[in-house]
Amino acid sequence: MPQTLFEKIWNSHVVHEEVGKPAILYVDCHLVHEVTSPQAFDGMRIAGRKVRRPELAVATMDHNVPTWSRSLPIKDEISLKQITTLEQNCREFGITLYGLDSPNQGIVHVIGPELGKTQPGMTIVCGDSHTSTHGAFGALAFGIGTSEVEHVLATQCLLQSRPKTFQINVEGTLPRGVTAKDLILYIIRTIGTAGATGYVVEYSGETIRALSMEQRMTVCNMSIEAGARAGMIAPDETTFAYLEGRQFVPKGKAFDDAVARWRGLPGDPGATFDRQITFDVTSLAPQVSWGTSPGMVADVTDRIIDPETLESENDRKAARRALEYMDLRPGTPVEEIRIDRVFIGSCTNSRIEDLRQAADIVKGKTVAAEVNAMVVPGSQQVKLQAEKEGLDRVFTRAGFEWRESGCSMCLGMNPDILSPGERCASTSNRNFEGRQGAGGRTHLVSPAMAAAAAIAGHFVDIRNWD
């Protein structure tokens, strides 16, 4: 029977399956970070268990690390304790750690692909919902809770019920200035934040095939914002070219053999999905979120929605509440919304191409006087590459702050937070109430849109930028 990409990976990782029970699924790669692992390691110690395959796990610290100079001490004692706890746990259980002094440190979903830990056909898990990012390589990758982190440490397996499959087909050429971020925001806006709950999404179609690996990662990254268990894209020449030469990718003949295997992963002709939808992006506009849920999104050329025009009472209530929190009025043009802060970073948009796109917009210009803008590269390797290309100077000359790598203001676990009432154009993935700081107001946009907003002091249609 013809199989989809998902089915091929799932079937080849089932260790054991009984009718009426979840499958025992083998995990090829386990990414670990400081926030969702300490209680799991504790559980291992209490039960007297060893990590079954420590060499299949890799750890870094990203969520709560400060992004100012690494030479400065971490002032927050609780954060520091969490960081030293990860160091101790990795030492005790024999797991490789890319710590704060490592040239490989960075956001876990940036360094996995960058180091070549992420490879097609793998099952990849991490105690973080944005693990869906790695699906861009044709891997089955999803976020898990801390109890499951412990389960993987102890058994190298997970108990998983088979999800349903959902094909999102995207056709048409993205207009100039419109990016993968706009594409995924538009998809979430259309299918809803629970639109893919219970499904693994496979993105396909000519638009997806034309995306670079970094853009594909942006799309898969935000699958979770549509509720999906995972997002994935079949591997192709773009994938193989990205992987070749990376640290943990096989070399020489072993690489050729791997590629030959990976070529068998894309879905077979005639393979079917539980659900399918097709988008045409030929006339897609840059997207800007206006509310407190990633499905509350508008075209940059739109006006703020009137909640009373929505169909269900629950949606009207949610929209009214969101506009009150965001301090926005129905009818206001999106382009007239003025901002206080700009954050370029996060596992969604902090890779080298994202920074290049933002730098292109910023070059030779100055950040608006009332705006405080920062760029937080996704990893030390991204930072180094950007500095080689002179992007750091483009940003700092324009008035941006240039920081060390980490999750930073995407979730504000470190000192990078919004003050109450501050409005931010952010390249991150969630606009939830208080996500970037209690009382802070987040608008999700692409790196180019965030950069343009920093210069103009308000949102602008990037398609008209000169």
Partner 1 sequence: MDPFTRHRGIVATLDRVNVDTDQIIPKQFLKRIERTGFEDCLFFDWRFRPDGSLNEDFELNAPRYRGASILLARANFGCGSSREHAPWALKDYGFRVIVAPSFADIFYNNCFKNGMLPIKLSEEQVDELFSRAKQTDGYALLVDLVEQKISDEEGLELKFEVEPFRRHSLLEGLDDIGVTLQHEDKIRAFEERRR
Binding site for partner 1 (CB under 8 A): 15-16, 20-22, 24, 26, 35-36, 38-39, 42, 47, 49, 52, 63-64, 76, 78-79, 81-82, 85, 127-129, 143-148, 150-151, 154-157, 159, 161, 193-194, 197-198, 224, 227, 229, 293, 314-315, 317-318, 321, 411-413, 420, 430, 432-435, 438-439
Of the pair 24, 277, the CB lying nearest partner 1 is at 24
Minimum distance, C-beta of residue 184 to partner 1, in the bound complex (Å): 16
Q: By C-beta, is 417 or 450 nearer to partner 1?
A: 417
Min CB(423)–partner 1 separation in Å: 17
Q: Which is nearer to partner 1, 209 or 316 (CB)?
A: 316
Is the CB of 205 or the CB of 434 nearer to partner 1? 434
Cβ 295 to partner 1 shortest distance, Å:
8
In angstroms, rounded to a whole number, what is the distance separating the alpha carbons of residues 400 and 140?
Answer: 37
Smallest gap, in angstroms, from Cβ of residue 217 to partner 1? 18
- Judged by beta carbon, residue 15 or residue 241, the one nearer partner 1 is 15
Q: Cβ distance 401 to 376 under 8 Å?
A: no
- How large is the C-alpha radius of gyration of the chain? 21
Strand-by-strand arrangement of the 23-26 sheet: 14-16, 23-26, 157-160
Of 23 and 355, the one with the shorter C-beta distance to partner 1 is 23
124 within 8 A of 140, measured Cβ to Cβ: yes
CB of 114 to partner 1, least distance (A): 22
Can you name the residues that pair with 201 across neighbouring β-strands?
166, 231
For residue 148, how many other CB atoms are within 10 A of its CB?
19
Query: CA–CA distance from 413 to each of 200, 350, 374, 408, 442 (Å)?
Result: 29, 17, 16, 7, 16
Name which of 126 and 352 has its Cβ closer to partner 1.
126
Helix %, strand %, coil % for the chain, to 5? 40, 20, 45
User: How distant, in Å, are the alpha carbons of 101, 194, 215 from that of 277?
Assistant: 45, 15, 20
Q: How far is the CB of 147 from partner 1 (least distance, A)?
A: 4
Alpha-carbon gap, residue 112 to 104, rounded angstroms: 10
Rounded Cα–Cα distance for residues 28 and 422 (Å)? 42
H or E, element range at 289 = strand 287-289
Q: Which is nearer to partner 1, 159 or 254 (CB)?
A: 159
Q: Which one, 76 or 335, has the nearer CB to partner 1?
A: 76
Pick the closest to residue 283 from 257, 301, 264, 303 (CA basis).
301
CB of 189 to partner 1, least distance (A): 14
Reading the block at residue 388, the tokens are 């080689």
Minimum distance from residue 377 beta carbon to partner 1 (Å): 21
Q: Tell me how far, at minimum, the Cβ of 13 lies from partner 1, in Å.
A: 9
Alpha carbon distance 354, 344 (integer Å):
9
Cβ proximity to partner 1, 175 vs 415, nearer residue: 415
Indicate the residue type of 419: S
SS3 annotation, 90-154:
HHHHCCEEECCCCCCCECHHHHHHHHCCCCCCCEEEECCHHHHHHHHHCCEEEECCHHHHHHHHH
Least distance from C-beta 369 to partner 1, angstroms?
Answer: 28
Distance of CA 376 to CAs 172, 201, 256, 408, Å? 32, 29, 36, 7
Query: Least separation, in Å, of the C-beta of 142 and partner 1?
Result: 8
Record the tokens describing residue 171, joined without a space: 């056709």
Q: Smaller CB distance to partner 1: residue 144 or 337?
A: 144
